[in-house]
Amino acid sequence: MRRGRVAILAGLAVAGAQAGHLIAYQVRFGAAAQQLQSSGAHAYFPTGVKTALGLAALALLMSLLLIAVARAAARGVRVRTVESPSYLNLLAPLFTVQLGLFVAQEVAEAVIAGTPVASAAALMLWGTIGQLPAAALLAAALRRLWSRVEEAVGQLRAVAQAWRPMVVSAPVAFAPVRVDLSPRWAASRSPLTRRGPPHFS
């Protein structure tokens, strides 16, 4: 389960990094941000950001659908209450990963375009301006949904176990079978047909 949580956080951080990239360029370049992010070394960005944000939206819809199905199918089923991670425990890894992805993207784009790489201070400044708000919003939404999704999964598991067919092994009683081992000629004679001297009274 821990690996699953790490994978979810990593996937959401990738989507959040693209949203933070948009915010940073909008603040830095204003009206020219859209043109810069769709030309040259940034030509991949519009498709990449649409894909990332689309997958994040799909994950959100699937989570809401899972919660709704669990509430409808598991009414009255109670499971252990799951506490969401604290806000800071979500914000810290999300912001760290998103900032690292932003810096890596900027360096890679500069190398591909053949332009000088921005200084570390500039990368950290613009990265923080863009990634911190995106990570903050993502952490708030994730904290609100985390416990509800885990409780929904627990409820559906409980329902699945209740409906699992039970194999009942009942003892089988066998009636004793009598086997007559006497010869056929002896069994065919009745006491009335036995031969012998006549009996005179």
* Amino acid code (one letter) for 150: E
**Does position 129 have pLDDT exceeding 90, yes or no?**
yes
pLDDT at 182 over 50: yes
Does 172 map to a domain? no
Number of domains in the chain: 1
Question: Is residue 128, in this structure, part of any structural domain at all?
Answer: yes
Rounded to an integer, the average pLDDT of 109-114 is 87
Residue 173 within any structural domain of the chain: no
User: What is the DSSP annotation of 144-175?
Assistant: HHHHHHHHHHHHHHHHHHHTSPP---PPPP--
Report the pLDDT value the prediction gives residue 2, as an integer from 0 to 100.
66
Considering the domain boundaries, does residue 29 fall inside one?
yes
Examine residue 87 and state whether it is found in any structural domain, yes or no.
yes
The pLDDT of residue 81: 65
Q: Is residue 126, in this structure, part of any structural domain at all?
A: yes
Domain that residue 71 falls in: 2-162
For residue 96, pLDDT over 90 is answered with yes
Kindly state whether residue 190 falls inside one of the protein's structural domains. no
Higher pLDDT, 31 or 3: 31
pLDDT band at 93 (very low <50, low <70, confident <90, very high): very high
Q: With beta carbons less than 8 A apart as the criterion, state whether 131 and 99 touch.
A: yes
Q: Evaluate whether residue 180 is within a structural domain.
A: no
What backbone phi and psi angles, to 5 degrees, belong to 16? -65, -35
